[in-house]
Structure 1
């Protein structure tokens, strides 16, 4: 089964349903993830409009949403969940591009630090909480999409949380997360991003390091799980999701 859909202006678009979950049940269709939509083409919107997406969780900060607006067309018009928290100062990834140690080890250290930070940021937790509840209450039962800028880090953590809650085994959760490395055409985007970084900051990473920066590694997700104290603890004690809501999520998104 092909999970990845190649779109013209949207990177990393794919679904994360269809896996085996709790007690042999299957994760119902209707769960999608991606990068941002500011460059979506008319054919992209035609495809997305046919998926029945009712709720979109946009994990980007306000400045990101302003600079690269989604511009959802009226025929689709989903309910968008977002947060206005945490939009102060230079974004960490841009600060790293400007001032960080651009070695393979330096890039990897930055990515691990990002995964220690992301689950605990108030804005991310707000959207994670609201998105979880939208899935549990049935508001998004026909179709749900979660995205950030690249659709790999903030988005990847949330998808891993939901799949874990639905009883998908740990190896499959990691494999789904690492699918970004197949879904993104690095050869196409790295030259463009390096050129922009060079123009904006006067330096650019070597392509191999840029691939580490733009890709994912199971160790990053494991680092997030460690900081979270495990998904069970994080969902219950950090997001404040109660057992009734957790049972409702499984009832709505698992099918025999």
Structure 2
């Protein structure tokens, strides 16, 4: 476990630092500048105080409106500026349909969880709305001219929409693909106990082993999911650099400024 990278927050899942990663040309991502987490809907006053003291001054919420309505970020009486930046108009990483229909899918299709997540990741590349959300996230990063300020970005579980946001940010900063994949997969280590408890709970509730494994595929990250997104980028844009420019809309000047702000 990379203890320095995992923030000591009790009310937030998967709270992680992007600081310290080395770029291909020998720079490093600054610490206390880029924070990725799960939902802040259960954020306690103690954890909010920690984030403020850590330097967080902007919170970019990548969740959909229904997710925000169900559990809004708990930022009252803080100096953290909230940015609603939905990647999807619904929680594509969960399932909002009738629970009985959802369970049938889990019980009848052994590949449902895996295939659903692969499709979700492809949509984050192929659809215009997710790309626009990532553009707005980058604009928040670019507008952070205060050297001491940190930006926090999150979705619900802090693994898929947040995971791809971290992929794009690290790529834009010049971090190599192997390191980016390592950060992406670190989620499974950080939230292992949470995932195992969820799987145990559904088995105790009478779900079959197959259905439980389908749910595990929805709860975890998988290199297949990231590779599906990277393959879609290569097919549509030829390279990650082209995607950052043409897909998300970042200029060369934007990338230069990002590196000035977030690298040392």
Q: What's the TM-score, normalizing by structure 1?
A: 0.85
- Contact between 1:57 and 1:127, CA under 8 Å: does it hold in 2? no
Say whether 1:233 aligns with 2:242: yes
Describe the superposition over 1:52-87 as per-residue Cα deviations: whole angstroms up to 9, x where unpaired. Answer: 11222211111111111112122233242424x853
In structure 2, the CA distance between the partners of 1:86 and 1:128, relative to structure 1 (3 Å rule), is closer
- Contact between 1:35 and 1:148, CA under 8 Å: does it hold in 2? yes
In structure 2, the CA distance between the partners of 1:212 and 1:133, relative to structure 1 (3 Å rule), is same
Say whether 1:65 aligns with 2:68: yes
What's the CA shift for 1:31? Answer: 0.9
**Residue among 102, 126, 129 paired with 2:132:** 126
Counterpart in the other structure of 2:168: 161
Alignment partners' CA distance in 2, 1:121 and 1:71: 30
Greater displacement, 151-160 / 133-142:
133-142
What's the CA shift for 1:175? Answer: 0.6
Greater displacement, 163-172 / 114-123:
114-123
Counterpart in the other structure of 1:24: 26
Alignment of 1:238-249 (within 5 A): 238-249=247-258
Counterpart in the other structure of 1:44: 47
- Contact between 2:106 and 2:214, CA under 8 Å: does it hold in 1? no
Q: CA RMSD in A?
A: 2.8
Counterpart in the other structure of 1:35: 38
Alignment partners' CA distance in 2, 1:159 and 1:140: 21
Tell me the SS of whatever aligns to 1:75: coil
In structure 2, the CA distance between the partners of 1:124 and 1:214, relative to structure 1 (3 Å rule), is same
Describe the superposition over 1:101-131 as per-residue Cα deviations: whole angstroms up to 9, x where unpaired. Answer: 5454332122111111123344422221112
Alignment partners' CA distance in 1, 2:127 and 2:253: 25
Alignment partners' CA distance in 2, 1:5 and 1:205: 34
- Contact between 2:6 and 2:17, CA under 8 Å: does it hold in 1? yes
- Contact between 1:81 and 1:131, CA under 8 Å: does it hold in 2? no
Describe the superposition over 1:121-170 as per-residue Cα deviations: whole angstroms up to 9, x where unpaired. Answer: 44422221112122234357510111001110011011011111112111
Counterpart in the other structure of 2:56: 53
**Residue among 108, 111, 120 paired with 1:105:** 111
Alignment partners' CA distance in 1, 2:88 and 2:262: 31
Tell me the SS of whatever aligns to 1:146: strand
Ranges in structure 1 where 5+ consecutive residues have no aligned partner? none
